[in-house]
Amino acid sequence: MERTHLDRRPLVARREALRVGGLTALGLSLSDWLHLRAAAPVLVAGDVARRPRARSCILIWLDGGPSHIDTFDPKPDAPSEVRGPFRAIPTRVPGVAYSELLPATARLADRIAIVRSVTSPLGEHNFGSHYLLTGYKPSAALTYPSMGSVVARTADPAAVLPPYISAGDDPNGMSGPGYLEADFGPFVVRQDPRSPQLRGMDLDPPAGVSLDRWARRRAFVAAVDRMSRLVEAAPRLAMSPEYEKAFRLVTSTEAKSAFDLSQESPVTLERYGTRLIGQSCLLARRLVERGVPFVTVTDRGWDTHDNIFQRLREGYTGGSVGKVPILDRALSALLSDLSERGLLDETLVLVLGEFGRTPKINTVGGRDHWPRVFSVALAGGGISGGQVIGASDAMGESPKDRPVTPADLARTVFTILGVDPDREFRTSDGRPVRVNAGGEVISELVT
């Protein structure tokens, strides 16, 4: 049975968590997150059991909307004002071409499926993001949970590491829990993975407080709890199971190890590249390796209304590397690394943004928002790689065949991860809402 709003308990204040034990936050405070996780119901008899193809998902979110024509759906025979200056290059799959800016990824095309006919009516960033990240069109009445939040909602609440973690740039505002409880939003890694301070990840005691001293503080709180009813003003924080979990997380060598990129060899660090997206993809690999079911890596800067070709090839300031080559390095390293470690078959990798870009180049050398047709790349998770699903027309303006909606994509992701798309959750006022409505599984990926 699902909980209703009558079962909800108030959130603990951040300063309370800081006062008792010095817990700080990765998005939410540890105390907040662990309390709310404890309130999540476990699966009961009657829930639909599904055998997952994958146990984890890494979603690489290209925030702003990447150009499909300049990445995974080049149009070499289109007029110059459509095809742009980048050549189409062959991939490892005969007859399939990518942009010349993706050479390393092209060599792995036999592991990748490209859906070139994704279509949406929503060309505004927030609306488009909501549709792609949740599988639901936006509604004034209800904000739906992101795919990561749905997975977190169905994950094992006893796990030490959070079930949904966000790395890279700040997460998109539509990647949150929607009508679900706040703790099912992403556990946000605020630090740059390249920073030597990342290994602490706010899992260390506060400055000047040793673990022994913190343990004594913990015991003192327990004594106070036993001796006085005055702690009823903050009963959850005293010696609640959530506080116990927080203590175990902060003192867990497993948790600290997961975030410690210094454990990687210099060769591996270099392989992913020194940019934020590369090191965040490496962090994502470490997290799924340790059982985290959903990780989002956010890369901002894809809203290229002007000077798009410099930005994609050379960077925003006319440097040596642009958005697509940096993505190429990070994505190819991630797929290769997962494969070499035997993790690719059990890890679904998604690469997408909220929409594509206009086929025709505008007067300031950019491409504008274009949701009518765009591309999504998928790999791993037991899917059938080495294929292209659907097609856009000759100018990259509309689906030519096999249109795929964001609802279809979300249903496919849930199915691969073993989440029943027809399962119902309840809103705070008790309204039942299905995990996915109106979507159909992309059969070519899961056959």
In this prediction, residues 293-303 reach a mean pLDDT of: 98
Burial class (CB in 10 A: 0-12, 13-18, 19+), 112: buried
- Residue 218 pLDDT more than 70? no
CB–CB of 120/138 below 8 Å?
Answer: no
What local confidence, expressed as pLDDT, does residue 157 receive? Answer: 85
* 37-51 burial: b if 16+ Cβ within 10 Å, else e: bbebeeeeeeeeeee
What local confidence, expressed as pLDDT, does residue 35 receive? Answer: 52
Distance CA 198, CA 191 (A): 6
Among 30-34, 113-117, 157-161, the range with the most confident prediction by mean pLDDT is 113-117
More confident: 170 or 210: 170
Give the CA radius of gyration of the chain: 23
pLDDT tens for 83-131 read 999 999 999 999 999 999 999 999 999 999 999 999 999 999 999 999 9
> What are the CA-CA distances from residue 284 to residues 60, 176, 297, 298, 337 (Å)?
10, 18, 7, 11, 11
More confident: 438 or 203: 438
Distance CA 162, CA 245 (A): 11
What local confidence, expressed as pLDDT, does residue 264 receive? Answer: 94
% of the chain surpassing 90 pLDDT: 69
More confident: 77 or 210: 77
pTM of this structure:
0.82
What local confidence, expressed as pLDDT, does residue 250 receive? Answer: 64
Burial class (CB in 10 A: 0-12, 13-18, 19+), 314: middle
* 425-444 burial: b if 16+ Cβ within 10 Å, else e: bbbeeeeebebbeebebbeb
- Residue 238 pLDDT more than 50? no
What local confidence, expressed as pLDDT, does residue 209 receive? Answer: 52
What local confidence, expressed as pLDDT, does residue 253 receive? Answer: 76
What local confidence, expressed as pLDDT, does residue 341 receive? Answer: 98
What local confidence, expressed as pLDDT, does residue 52 receive? Answer: 87
CB–CB of 276/194 below 8 Å?
Answer: yes
In this prediction, residues 288-299 reach a mean pLDDT of: 97
What local confidence, expressed as pLDDT, does residue 104 receive? Answer: 98
- Residue 8 pLDDT more than 50? no
Task: List the strands of the sheet with 387-389, edge to edge.
Answer: 187-188, 164-168, 294-300, 56-63, 347-352, 374-380, 112-118, 387-389
What local confidence, expressed as pLDDT, does residue 17 receive? Answer: 33
**Confidence band (pLDDT; 50, 70, 90) for 410?**
very high
Question: What tokens were used for 122?
Answer: 């929503």
Distance CA 289, CA 203 (A): 19
More confident: 228 or 101: 101
- Residue 210 pLDDT more than 70? no
Q: Which of 380, 443, 370, 386 is nearest to 409 (CA)?
A: 443
What local confidence, expressed as pLDDT, does residue 246 receive? Answer: 56
Question: What tokens were used for 308?
Answer: 């798009």
DSSP 65-119: ---STTTTS--TTS-HHHH-SPPEEE-SSTT-EEETT-HHHHTTGGGEEEEEEE-
- Residue 213 pLDDT more than 80? no
What local confidence, expressed as pLDDT, does residue 207 receive? Answer: 54
Distance CA 42, CA 77 (A): 55
pLDDT tens for 343-378 read 999 999 999 999 999 999 999 999 999 999 999 999
In this prediction, residues 123-143 reach a mean pLDDT of: 97
pLDDT tens for 52-63 read 899 999 999 999
> What domains does the chain contain, in order, with CATH numbers?
40-203+252-446 (3.40.720)
What local confidence, expressed as pLDDT, does residue 108 receive? Answer: 98
Alpha carbon 51 to chain centroid, angstroms: 22
What local confidence, expressed as pLDDT, does residue 272 receive? Answer: 97
* 360-383 burial: b if 16+ Cβ within 10 Å, else e: bbeeeebbbbbbbbbbbbbbbbbb
% of the chain surpassing 70 pLDDT: 75
What local confidence, expressed as pLDDT, does residue 6 receive? Answer: 31
pLDDT tens for 263-292 read 999 999 999 999 999 999 999 999 999 999
- Residue pointed to by tokens 């709180």: 221
